[in-house]
Structure 1
Amino acid sequence: MKLVKTFGRGKAAADALIESLEQRGAVNTARVAPVVQRILAEVRRGGDRALLKYASKFDGLAKGESLLVSPEEMKAAWDSTSPKLQAAMMVARGNILAFAEAQLPREWTISPVEGVKTGQIVRALGSVGCYVPGGRYPLPSTLLMTVTPAQVAGVSRIVVCSPKPARETMAAAWLAGVKEFYRVGGAQAIAAMAYGTATMERVDKIVGPGNLYVTAAKMLVASECGIDMPAGPTEIVVTSETGDAAGVAADLVAQAEHDPETLAVLITSNEALARAVAAEVKTQARGNAIAKQSLAAQGCLFVTATVREAQELTNRLAPEHLTVDTTADLRWVENAGSVFVGEYAPQSMGDYVSGPNHVLPTGRVGRVRGGLSVMDFVKVITVQQYTRAGLKKMGPHAIALAEAEGLKGHAESVRVRMR
């Protein structure tokens, strides 16, 4: 990991590095956009033929093998899963379920004046596609994180796509009651879910994390199919003055092992802590090839002149995962996907069993939204109702505004009901 001071002789280099990190999302996906555009166009034009071609080329789909995972395969996977892992999956699903239920928006009505009622109703999306990565590691946790809140929201059709789905992922699908599961991944899976093929009917919205190709594909189909957010390669920032070096390093290494593109950062004004963490990271990353690769390429230890500067830099980076020292730090946190507080809250707990979703915004999208939630699977629809008396009270104000805008038809549509 690089140790970078944001003051003194290192300031200019630090400023340039920070500026590049602020552009990370757009720059990274731009690298793969031409390839992704070609795959999307081919699947859109060629349907199943193109989908099978890419599933065979990139996902290891055998000739004659069905894209659709059967219920029998999912049940067999669950039955062959150890009781220990079954119990862990059930605990995780229970906590995700409870958290999503607590997040559900409510329906309500108010009466701003007598004779007028306004409010909102909540309706589930009709269909969603849940992308579950399956390249380097099996990710049953991601299946539970994407499917469960959709079920809580009441989505009637839930599709799962995952390349080379592992037994653990299929077991999680059985536990969650998944009915439609396809063994396809990458940009080709995003294309199929967004545009539809003879085998796979299109969905209203696509959610879930993925590599740069998946993230770029989601962004490119967003004009025709809803998406949750760019949720690309993992990001971790630890902003700490008093943290335990071994614990901080463990979180950095843990997130870095996800992907060679992982961004792993410590921000502190405590130089001694930064150097201790650097030593710990070096020790703990031994034997973890992917973590070593990402930490060497994107690992940064920022030493700031002040605590305030450390806080400001954290918000500028808007990280996917953020760890802070105490609950008092929450007062200054503005931009982050999910926040972990204190030395006894390893980020891995959020990846698996805490309940809040681990599908989180990357590429500084934490400036505008948090992680995946039950709200991503519902529509909040506003409702307005007037009595004649209510319209007589409020109508003249609407007429005045309509006439000020020169919209005579708007004014008349109110006036004709007030006669």
Structure 2
Amino acid sequence: MLPILESTDTRALRRLLDRTPDDHARIEPAVRDILGAVRTRGDKALVEFARKFDRLEGPIELSPAEIHAGAGDCPREVRAAIRKAARHIRMVARAQVPATWTKQVAPGVKVSQRVVPLERVGCYVPGGRYPLPSSLLMAAVTARAAGVPEVIVTCPRPDASVLAAAVEAGVDRIFQLGGAQAIAALAYGTATVPRVDKIVGPGNAYVALAKALVARDCAIDFFAGPSEIVVVASSGDPAWIAADLLAQAEHDVDARALFLTPSRRLAQQVARAIEAQLAGPDAQGTPARDSLARNGAIVVTRTIAEAAALANRIAPEHLVVDTPELGASIPVAGSIFVGAWTAQAAGDYAIGSNHVLPTSGAARFRGGLHAWDFVRVSTVQQLTKRGVALVGPTAATLADAEGLKLHAASIRARLGIAPKVGPVKARARRPSARSSR
């Protein structure tokens, strides 16, 4: 049965909440080697790794005819679901695009915000235990909605559903690449794979570490760790709460699923419901039981306020709460699901909100993948003669205060104020070690 912990057991909580990656030191040398090989040897290294790790037999890139033919093999009901999900994602993403505006700050002083989409974006789509057309939709549809003219996808084993999602999203090119080698190709470019401005999308530990290592050379969305969910509730249907926890535990053995509640009775009911559902046919063959055994727990808190405070401390990827008021009291989360009917798994597919979300506490400083991830926001300034007369003295005074005299001089030149000129003092020349002998 899922362990039930007390919030007062600080040692157990510390151990439970520790999300320090334990495998990065082990895999970093291999990831660095892959990145370096692709960067220096290009397609030759890329093909070697694709054959070795992804068991690729054909060409790296799928032709447009192959993409459309593969998409045609996708069942009709799945294609319909893809279209509907894409429509919802597109609607939300378009509403997220930052606005272009112009503000007259003062007479003769104008500041504008200019929003320009990135030129080319690379979307990584995992190809592990399950095909993930939803991940392609979340990244590619959002990029297109932001106005990105070229969207590239890498996926080691794109099945019919992934190809159908690519067609719906308007993807330009698909490369059958996975792992750190795919990230290297997108970040640095090869003769076959063009270099992109930004890499987005979830992946395994090798992908996550590769993204972190190339981030100095190519923008990424964020570093992504294992998936996680925190449910906070003092009441509710135990079977539904259990189902939400198990849905996240299904991802892999490193996924984290936590239930925080002040109700011991509800805690016990949820624990029993989890056991019952793990015994059902849907859970067979999934990593859910191992995931819960390694990273899952139910924490009984003294109050609902304490549960909310603990959730804020965790900063989870997914947060599920039973009331709007409780959701408002827990602002530190990647995505928040409010009310008993709001199944978190629905957000993974069809609500329209993005499921590419910050993990490992990164929700402390950012939310999920967003339209603004795909644009450059620049400010444009313009002063008239009247405007520089108005703000120039203020700017020059501040430049003087910082000791940046040439900054001040460049402003005063426009104000018709001559720079101060004084005698240049020659610095005394110190004798060198050689001349002193």
Give the TM-score category using the shorter length: over 0.9
- The reply to whether residue 4 of structure 1 matches residue 12 of structure 2 is no
- The reply to whether residue 170 of structure 1 matches residue 163 of structure 2 is yes
Decide which structure has the larger Cα Rg and report it.
2
Match of 2:117 in 1: 124
| RMSD of aligned Cα (Å) | 1.3
Q: Distance in 1 between matches of 2:20 and 2:222?
A: 12
Match of 1:72 in 2: 65
Q: Distance in 2 between matches of 1:173 and 1:366?
A: 28
In the TM superposition, residue 59 of structure 1 has moved relative to its aligned partner by: 0.9
Higher deviation after alignment, 185-194 or 32-41: 32-41
Match of 1:34 in 2: 29
- For the 8 Å contact 1:402–1:410, the answer to whether it is kept is yes
User: For 1:323-356, what per-residue CA distance to the aligned partner results, in whole angstroms no more than 9, with x for missing partners?
Assistant: 0011111221121111111111111110000001
In the TM superposition, residue 27 of structure 1 has moved relative to its aligned partner by: 4.3
The one-letter code of the counterpart of 1:347 is Q
- For the 8 Å contact 2:254–2:291, the answer to whether it is kept is yes
Which of 26, 48, 55 is residue 60 of structure 1 equivalent to?
55
How many equivalent residue pairs? 411
Which of 321, 342, 347 is residue 344 of structure 2 equivalent to?
347
Structure 1 stretches lacking a partner, 5+ long: none
- For the 8 Å contact 1:73–1:170, the answer to whether it is kept is no
Partner SS for 1:293: helix
Which of 4, 12, 20 is residue 14 of structure 1 equivalent to?
12
- For the 8 Å contact 1:359–1:372, the answer to whether it is kept is yes
Higher deviation after alignment, 170-179 or 234-243: 170-179
Going from structure 1 to structure 2, the CA distance change for 1:385 and 1:33 (only over 3 Å counts) comes to same
Partner SS for 1:354: coil
Q: Distance in 2 between matches of 1:30 and 1:168?
A: 35
The one-letter code of the counterpart of 2:361 is R
Pairwise mapping of residues 250-399 of structure 1 onto structure 2 (< 5 A)? 250-286=243-279, 287-399=284-396
Q: Distance in 2 between matches of 1:281 and 1:253?
A: 7
In the TM superposition, residue 13 of structure 1 has moved relative to its aligned partner by: 2.6
Q: Distance in 2 between matches of 1:47 and 1:130?
A: 19
- For the 8 Å contact 1:204–1:226, the answer to whether it is kept is yes
Partner SS for 1:164: coil
User: For 1:361-418, what per-residue CA distance to the aligned partner results, in whole angstroms no more than 9, with x for missing partners?
Assistant: 0111010000001010001101111110111011001110111111111011111111
The one-letter code of the counterpart of 1:37 is R
Going from structure 1 to structure 2, the CA distance change for 1:188 and 1:25 (only over 3 Å counts) comes to farther
Match of 1:50 in 2: 45
Q: Distance in 2 between matches of 1:58 and 1:52?
A: 10
- For the 8 Å contact 1:205–1:226, the answer to whether it is kept is yes
Match of 2:242 in 1: 249
- For the 8 Å contact 2:79–2:161, the answer to whether it is kept is no
User: For 1:195-227, what per-residue CA distance to the aligned partner results, in whole angstroms no more than 9, with x for missing partners?
Assistant: 111111111110001111111111111111100
Partner SS for 1:120: strand
Partner SS for 1:416: helix
- For the 8 Å contact 1:78–1:175, the answer to whether it is kept is no
Going from structure 1 to structure 2, the CA distance change for 1:349 and 1:330 (only over 3 Å counts) comes to same
Partner SS for 1:371: coil
Structure with greater helix share of residues: 1
Match of 2:89 in 1: 96
User: For 1:46-98, what per-residue CA distance to the aligned partner results, in whole angstroms no more than 9, with x for missing partners?
Assistant: 21121111111111101xx1110111122112222222111101100000000
Going from structure 1 to structure 2, the CA distance change for 1:386 and 1:415 (only over 3 Å counts) comes to same
Which of 151, 155, 160 is residue 153 of structure 2 equivalent to?
160
Going from structure 1 to structure 2, the CA distance change for 1:57 and 1:292 (only over 3 Å counts) comes to same
Q: Normalised by the size of structure 2, how large is the TM-score?
A: 0.91
- For the 8 Å contact 2:244–2:343, the answer to whether it is kept is yes
Q: Distance in 2 between matches of 1:12 and 1:96?
A: 41
| Matched-pair identity in % | 48
